[in-house]
Structure 1
Amino acid sequence: MSSGSPASSDDMRECLEQALEQVRRLRMIIDGSAAGTWEWNPQSGWMQVNERWAEIVGYALHELQPVSSDTFVQLVHPDDLQRSDAALQAHFDGLAAHYECLLRMRHRDGRWVWVQDRGRVYEWDGQGRPLWMAGAHADVSDLQQARHDVAGARQRLQAIVDASDEVAVIVTDVQGVITLFNSGAERLLGYRAEEVVGQASPVLFHDEQEVQAFLQAQPATEGAGLDLFAIFSARAREHTFSRQWTFLRKDGQHRQVRLSISALSDAQGEVTGFVGMATDVTEMLQARAEARLAEETFAGAFTSAALGMALVSLDGTWLDVNEALCRILGYSRQELLQVDFQQLTHPDDLPAELQMVQDLLAGERAHFHLEKRYVGRDGNLVWARLSVSLVRDERGDPLHFVSQIQDVSAQRASEQRLVDTEQRSRITLDAVTDLVLSVDMQGRIEHVNAAARHWLAHGAADALHGRFVGEVMQLTTEYAPLSPLDLSVLLDPDGNAVDLHSDLLLVHAHGHVPIDLSQAWLHDDGGALRGAVWVIRDVTQLRARQREARQLAELDPLTDLVNRRGFEAHLQQAIARLERTGQAASLMFIDLDRFKPVNDTWGHLAGDAVLWAVANVLRQGVRDSDVVARLGGDEFAVILVGCSLRRARRIAGDLLHAIGGLEIPWEGQQLRVGASIGIASIQPGMRVDEAVASADAQCYRAKAAGRNNVQTEKGDGGN
């Protein structure tokens, strides 16, 4: 045992020295790499760093003591901390073999230092949680700045290339793979850059048949066995290669382009790729083809056109005319070529045309249109619609005029007849005392007659045309005179506006004028509604006569109260108003007690005096808005609008007291009567006879209860 001990101690010493040597060398390597090292206990937060770790952020090591997880958190940029935590968690969860994160740390002088942080867990506890972790920091600020500079330069280059969106720029490497595809290329070819960069060759855009024809036409010594890109690149290495090609867009459309290809070289002159610049010449080629076609077809169109056509020199003489123009003016071709257009133009129309010709020559207009009169061969006037354009040469100098002349004499005659008809209609409408307005479907005024101008704008027509009718006129109804009517309902063809055309009031500065409104729809040529005509008539006198007649028909001649007919009409209105407003309403029936003995003892004249006195009590005991009626004999009724049963009962009590206190003098005697009163509520949707029956039933109860009392139906609570 003892003989083996020295050997074991020597071995252990040797191993320890080797381990220490390895640690020393490792520290030398780390120091030589200028890396900052760290150790960290994720569970306790304890952390140890070397001097270089502190130097990277501008501190001496002792200035950061004690170092912990909080030291790291305080120095790291807030935007990078979340990424660092995510990378750590991925390593802890076994998703990454080590932790690595590029992040920014605040230097002591306030700037941000880019640091490449890398480490791994080297010891785990019994529950598999990270116990010890070690890693290193490397200052990569210079590298990041270089990357930023390169990215900025690339962005500036890309911006310059993309700014030329009229030119397609496509760059490839030496193998033909696209490395740059600018916005002009996207616009020309319909592909997005990400669809082709790094994935496709420009050969993708060429028409296959055109490519095959091109390859077959190459000399055997130059093109044998080569594809299109190989030929392009070979020629571009020598000099810029240009040619017209057919490009095929992503959507299948063909475009004609002028393509130039050049080689790209590095600082040593080595070819690193190729750049192609393509200009779309499709429209230019089409324009040339259309110009040739126009030249070929103009002669045929000129002679066969239904419109009159002429080529006119700069001094106004006709250089050529077609048969249609000869027919319009009644001259032969030879006769027209001997005169100028001024000789055949009506003197009143010539100055305006000559001015337009001067504007055309001065470049102030590209063409002009004019309706004018020509003097025909027989001295007749021919109305024509003239269109003139100026032909210039390649330098922009004027050559001659091209004129198109359309005979519109029949149209002008028809228009004049229409103007005359409209003028007669306008005069007729202005003679009408009713207000006449035509409006479009949006309610804008198109025309008004004199009466409407007088009423709505004090005679100024311009103040009404084009304005919305609601801005110049306000209507209400007799039932709600303070609530303006929405005039758009009158222009709703699917609505019930016909019900609103009567019982209307026109609001003006001095009050409300009762009117009747008649409406007729206007249709366009296709039958669609385009507006309406309103005729508004002042019916003040008519309504007054109607009211007078209605009052005579609905008044009781003895008491001047509403009779039964008027009572039923007012009750119907009260029910309708109740359905609209939801307000409470009550109906009161009054039957006089001890009235028959008055008639029997003192005669009907005495009875009439009693009825007159009771009528006055009822009139004075209710509101002006309430309706008091004599239904016949000694029966009365009161319609109480906006009145609950409880309030109606209080009113009835006062009336009962007042009637009971009446003393009507007659032949030296004092006549007295009493009353029985029944009250019922008026409900929405009731018929008139239902409301009458309900109140009459309560009056009967009052009679049966001994007279001289008030009875109401159940539910008379509330006010």
Structure 2
Amino acid sequence: MADQGNSGNALLERRLQELAEERRRLAMIIEGTAAGTWEWNVQSGQMRVNERWAEIVGYRLDELEPICQKTFIALVHPDDLALSDAALQDHFDGRTDHYVCLLRMRHRNGEWIWIHDRGRVFEWDGQGRPLWMAGAHADVTELQRARQDAAEMRQRLQAVVDASDEVAVIATDTDGTITLFNTGAQRLLGYTAAEVVGGRRLDAFHDPVELQAWLRPLATVDGQVPGVFEALSARADGQTYSRQWTLLRKDGQRRQVRLSISRMDGADGERIGYVGMAIDITEILQARAEARLAADKFAGAFTSAALGMALVSLEGRWLDVNDALCRILGYPREELLQVDFQRLTHPADLQTDLALVQDLLAGRRTHYHLEKRYVGREGNTIWARLSVSLVRNERGEPLHFVSQIQDVSAQRSSEQRLFESEQRSRITLDAVADLVLSVALDGRIEYANAAAVRMLAGDGALSLAGHLVQDVLSLTTEYAPQSQLDVSVLLDPESNAVDLHADLLLRMGAATVPVDLTRAWLRDDEGQVRGAVWVLRDDTQQRAREREARHLAEMDPLTELGNRRGFEVHLQQAITRVERTGQAASLMYIDLDRFKPVNDTFGHLAGDAVLWAVASVLRHGVRDSDVVARLGGDEFAVILSGCSPRRAARIGGELLHTLSSLSIPWDQHQLRIGASIGIAPLAAGMSVDQAVAAADAQCYRAKAMGRNNVQVQGETSELPGGSPADGSDLGDG
């Protein structure tokens, strides 16, 4: 019996040693995975966690004790608790073998980190309820951020492709199956992306007759004709292949396009597919055909027109004239072609005509109309209505003038007699859409249009004639809205009050309306001023556009960030805010490292793409309340209101890290840059120039210390970035 007891004890001892060794191996495995482990009594809420569990959220284990279910709840993001509870319930109810949940937990430094939590019940009570669970959680913050960055990048790239709706972009895999079909392609071909992606090849849209005619010369010696996609891709393997094709829309329409096909390679240089870009040139070809038809029609119309018509050289010589012009001027065709229009133009009208010709040549006009006098062959004066346009070639260079000349001598005589009586009516009718007042020099209204009567006298009023203008019209200015303008100065021919007051307001009770006042003088038979016509136009939209123009003047057109002008305004406001509130604020000065080699190597368009990408990083890397500006070239600045230099340094480090990992695809290369960042606090009494100089000095110090780091005024340490400081990695193909 003693031997049996000793044998049993030995077996138990070995089993305990094996269990201890197994526990040691499990502990080493867990330690190697850097996972936090936990055990949880579901019914009592009691929890046991290891040191790594606490480290992941930034604590020591003793700082969290006593640890229970409430400890976990307090650390988890409120929006993720419901997800965790639902996953637990699925596991408790047997719908899942394990509890698995991706959730956020608050780190001790205040940041939210992503945790992948996994566990299972290993003990149940007598009623079949879960008693004890065990599991582990791992910090997957970097992985989650990388996924989010990748998703955002895919969305941005898709947005860029979809925004090019004037160009059809179609990508295929190596077999020719369509993998991308942008909005431009949908507009061109009439299909949705869902109808074609993954189910059609590019050659499905080609005119089959045209394709066969193109493929026939490519047949092998034994008569084998290659496949369409194979032939196209073979042409595009070495370089971009472009050709005009006929494509068939879903509705059966035929469209002429210029299609360019290029090969796409993966990061390893292996072919991954092809991309085609098509531009619809149907309308261009139609326009050319119509232009040829128009030229033929013009030739017929030129000869048979009842109006005088002429083609005139840039020097003024008649190149061709029709029979009607010969009759108007009294010259035989052969004789008329020997003179220029300057010799036939009345001397009093020549300079006006020549000035308009120069406007045409300089591009300030596309055509002009002029009533002028010609001198006929017999010395008689001929009044004519002249219409002139300039013909240019495809490069925009002037070729010759086309002139239409109508004899209006008879009409001119009768119009001269009617001119005086129609002057007032013409001036008034020219502005009937606005408030129109005809006012005598003594201030009495002689005429008011319906809009003026309704606006100034109210609905139901019939006329304002006989009223003093100052009794019905109240004008102020934007700069002195409480001071009424003396309208009598507007009736003084020597006054420039209208020119001085571009900020007029029409007072309507308690409200005011911005107006533009145009004044025209009325004269009697002797030419003396006897009154004026005023036209008041609602100027609300125009002034709003002017304000918008001032806003646009403060924007950088390339990056859509603020420019130096707008930046200095915001910086002065930030300094003033520091003086008034005492709240901290910082200025960050950013100078891109090794940006010039990008321009020198790949061109300024590549440089612009880099600047745009950097601007996007800066815009999304700071708060909406912060001001990001491009100061010029590759220099940027960020005004961080309510931000201490130390906090600004953390932000700068994050921006530097993002910029160092930034990769901009360009012409089969990946462009990369770095940055040097200087930070200085804003202080009361500081000028804009002093603030900029302080941050710039820190940026200079960052460059002197090897670039690609952050330097803060008063600090001696640097915050390194994530890319090479020498900028040697400009691109990779």
| TM-score, normalised relative to structure 1 | 0.54
Kindly indicate whether residue 443 of structure 2 is the aligned counterpart of residue 458 of structure 1. Answer: yes
Given that 1:35 and 1:137 are in contact with CA atoms closer than 8 Å, whether structure 2 keeps it comes out as yes
For the residues of structure 2 that align with 1:508 and 1:297, how far apart are their CA atoms? 61
For the residues of structure 1 that align with 2:27 and 2:69, how far apart are their CA atoms? 23
For the residues of structure 2 that align with 1:341 and 1:56, how far apart are their CA atoms? 92
Aligned length: 470
Q: Please name the residue that 2:453 is paired with.
A: 469
Deviation at 1:401, TM superposition (A): 1.6
Deviation at 1:230, TM superposition (A): 2.8
Given that 1:346 and 1:375 are in contact with CA atoms closer than 8 Å, whether structure 2 keeps it comes out as yes
For the residues of structure 1 that align with 2:430 and 2:361, how far apart are their CA atoms? 45
For the residues of structure 1 that align with 2:199 and 2:129, how far apart are their CA atoms? 46
Given that 1:439 and 1:447 are in contact with CA atoms closer than 8 Å, whether structure 2 keeps it comes out as no
Deviation at 1:219, TM superposition (A): 0.5
Residue correspondence of structure 1 range 514-553 to structure 2 within 5 A: none
Residue correspondence of structure 1 range 589-600 to structure 2 within 5 A: none
The residue type equivalent to 1:458 in the other structure is G
Deviation at 1:337, TM superposition (A): 2.3
Deviation at 1:413, TM superposition (A): 5.8
Q: Please name the residue that 1:118 is paired with.
A: 118
Deviation at 1:333, TM superposition (A): 2.4
Given that 1:215 and 1:223 are in contact with CA atoms closer than 8 Å, whether structure 2 keeps it comes out as no
Q: Please name the residue that 1:323 is paired with.
A: 323
Distance 1:77 1:411, change over 3 A: farther
Q: Please name the residue that 2:56 is paired with.
A: 56
Q: Please name the residue that 1:174 is paired with.
A: 174
Deviation at 1:253, TM superposition (A): 4.8
- For structure 1, which runs of at least 5 residues remain unmatched after alignment? 427-436, 474-484, 492-503, 512-719
Given that 1:369 and 1:387 are in contact with CA atoms closer than 8 Å, whether structure 2 keeps it comes out as yes
Residue correspondence of structure 1 range 367-378 to structure 2 within 5 A: 367-376=367-376
Distance 1:191 1:114, change over 3 A: farther
Three-state SS of the structure 2 residue aligned to 1:176 is coil
For the residues of structure 1 that align with 2:149 and 2:246, how far apart are their CA atoms? 39
Deviation at 1:320, TM superposition (A): 0.9
Residue correspondence of structure 1 range 545-584 to structure 2 within 5 A: none
Q: Please name the residue that 2:642 is paired with.
A: none
Three-state SS of the structure 2 residue aligned to 1:63 is helix
The residue type equivalent to 1:486 in the other structure is D
For the residues of structure 1 that align with 2:249 and 2:215, how far apart are their CA atoms? 21
Q: Please name the residue that 1:698 is paired with.
A: none
For the residues of structure 2 that align with 1:438 and 1:235, how far apart are their CA atoms? 67
Distance 1:374 1:440, change over 3 A: closer
Given that 1:264 and 1:274 are in contact with CA atoms closer than 8 Å, whether structure 2 keeps it comes out as yes
Given that 1:438 and 1:446 are in contact with CA atoms closer than 8 Å, whether structure 2 keeps it comes out as no
- For structure 2, which runs of at least 5 residues remain unmatched after alignment? 472-733
Deviation at 1:192, TM superposition (A): 6.1
Q: Please name the residue that 2:345 is paired with.
A: 345
For the residues of structure 1 that align with 2:470 and 2:170, how far apart are their CA atoms? 81
For the residues of structure 2 that align with 1:323 and 1:231, how far apart are their CA atoms? 59
Distance 1:295 1:34, change over 3 A: same
Give deviations 1:662-711, integer Å, cap 9, x for gaps. xxxxxxxxxxxxxxxxxxxxxxxxxxxxxxxxxxxxxxxxxxxxxxxxxx
Three-state SS of the structure 1 residue aligned to 2:176 is coil
Kindly indicate whether residue 266 of structure 2 is the aligned counterpart of residue 293 of structure 1. Answer: no
Given that 1:35 and 1:53 are in contact with CA atoms closer than 8 Å, whether structure 2 keeps it comes out as yes
Q: Please name the residue that 2:460 is paired with.
A: 487
Deviation at 1:145, TM superposition (A): 4.4
Distance 1:27 1:322, change over 3 A: same
Deviation at 1:215, TM superposition (A): 4.1
Deviation at 1:352, TM superposition (A): 1.5
Given that 1:188 and 1:280 are in contact with CA atoms closer than 8 Å, whether structure 2 keeps it comes out as yes
For the residues of structure 2 that align with 1:439 and 1:311, how far apart are their CA atoms? 35
> If you compute each CA radius of gyration, which structure gives the higher value, 1 or 2?
1
Give deviations 1:404-463, integer Å, cap 9, x for gaps. 12344565566556557658999xxxxxxxxxx999998x66686xxxx56x9734659x
Three-state SS of the structure 2 residue aligned to 1:315 is coil
For the residues of structure 2 that align with 1:258 and 1:279, how far apart are their CA atoms? 5
Given that 1:326 and 1:332 are in contact with CA atoms closer than 8 Å, whether structure 2 keeps it comes out as yes
Give deviations 1:332-375, integer Å, cap 9, x for gaps. 42343243333443444333212212322344323211122344
Deviation at 1:310, TM superposition (A): 0.2
For the residues of structure 1 that align with 2:306 and 2:416, how far apart are their CA atoms? 25
After superposition, the CA RMSD in angstroms is 4.9
The residue type equivalent to 1:301 in the other structure is A
Distance 1:510 1:468, change over 3 A: closer
Deviation at 1:468, TM superposition (A): 1.1
Q: Please name the residue that 1:104 is paired with.
A: 104
Q: Mean Cα displacement is larger for which, 407-416 or 291-300? A: 407-416
Q: Please name the residue that 2:245 is paired with.
A: 245
For the residues of structure 2 that align with 1:341 and 1:65, how far apart are their CA atoms? 104
Three-state SS of the structure 1 residue aligned to 2:62 is helix
The residue type equivalent to 1:487 in the other structure is G
Deviation at 1:388, TM superposition (A): 1.0
Distance 1:200 1:40, change over 3 A: farther
Deviation at 1:156, TM superposition (A): 6.5
Given that 2:218 and 2:226 are in contact with CA atoms closer than 8 Å, whether structure 1 keeps it comes out as no
Residue correspondence of structure 1 range 674-685 to structure 2 within 5 A: none
Q: Mean Cα displacement is larger for which, 159-168 or 264-273? A: 159-168
| TM-score, normalised relative to structure 2 | 0.53
Q: Please name the residue that 2:384 is paired with.
A: 384
For the residues of structure 1 that align with 2:132 and 2:190, how far apart are their CA atoms? 57
Three-state SS of the structure 2 residue aligned to 1:255 is strand
For the residues of structure 2 that align with 1:29 and 1:445, how far apart are their CA atoms? 88
For the residues of structure 2 that align with 1:113 and 1:180, how far apart are their CA atoms? 35
The residue type equivalent to 1:133 in the other structure is M
Given that 1:346 and 1:373 are in contact with CA atoms closer than 8 Å, whether structure 2 keeps it comes out as yes
Deviation at 1:386, TM superposition (A): 1.5
Kindly indicate whether residue 194 of structure 2 is the aligned counterpart of residue 210 of structure 1. Answer: no
Given that 1:46 and 1:69 are in contact with CA atoms closer than 8 Å, whether structure 2 keeps it comes out as yes
For the residues of structure 2 that align with 1:233 and 1:106, how far apart are their CA atoms? 53
Q: Please name the residue that 2:358 is paired with.
A: 358
Q: Please name the residue that 1:140 is paired with.
A: 140
Given that 2:446 and 2:466 are in contact with CA atoms closer than 8 Å, whether structure 1 keeps it comes out as no
Given that 2:261 and 2:274 are in contact with CA atoms closer than 8 Å, whether structure 1 keeps it comes out as yes
Three-state SS of the structure 1 residue aligned to 2:58 is coil
Deviation at 1:141, TM superposition (A): 3.1
Deviation at 1:321, TM superposition (A): 0.9
Given that 1:445 and 1:467 are in contact with CA atoms closer than 8 Å, whether structure 2 keeps it comes out as yes
Residue correspondence of structure 1 range 375-524 to structure 2 within 5 A: 375-376=375-376, 382-393=382-393, 397-409=397-409, 412=412, 415=415, 419=419, 458-459=443-444, 464=448, 468-470=452-454, 473=457, 486-487=459-460
For the residues of structure 2 that align with 1:128 and 1:171, how far apart are their CA atoms? 57
Three-state SS of the structure 2 residue aligned to 1:387 is strand
The residue type equivalent to 2:256 in the other structure is Q
Given that 1:439 and 1:446 are in contact with CA atoms closer than 8 Å, whether structure 2 keeps it comes out as no
Given that 2:308 and 2:323 are in contact with CA atoms closer than 8 Å, whether structure 1 keeps it comes out as yes
Give deviations 1:85-106, integer Å, cap 9, x for gaps. 4434444555544332222323
For the residues of structure 1 that align with 2:332 and 2:195, how far apart are their CA atoms? 68
Distance 1:306 1:39, change over 3 A: farther
Give deviations 1:29-72, integer Å, cap 9, x for gaps. 43443322223344433222223322322333333222222222
The residue type equivalent to 1:345 in the other structure is T
Residue correspondence of structure 1 range 612-623 to structure 2 within 5 A: none
Three-state SS of the structure 2 residue aligned to 1:309 is strand
Given that 1:383 and 1:407 are in contact with CA atoms closer than 8 Å, whether structure 2 keeps it comes out as yes
Given that 2:444 and 2:468 are in contact with CA atoms closer than 8 Å, whether structure 1 keeps it comes out as no
Give deviations 1:237-293, integer Å, cap 9, x for gaps. 354433222234566554333323232334544322223233444444344434433
Deviation at 1:295, TM superposition (A): 3.8
Q: Please name the residue that 2:302 is paired with.
A: 302
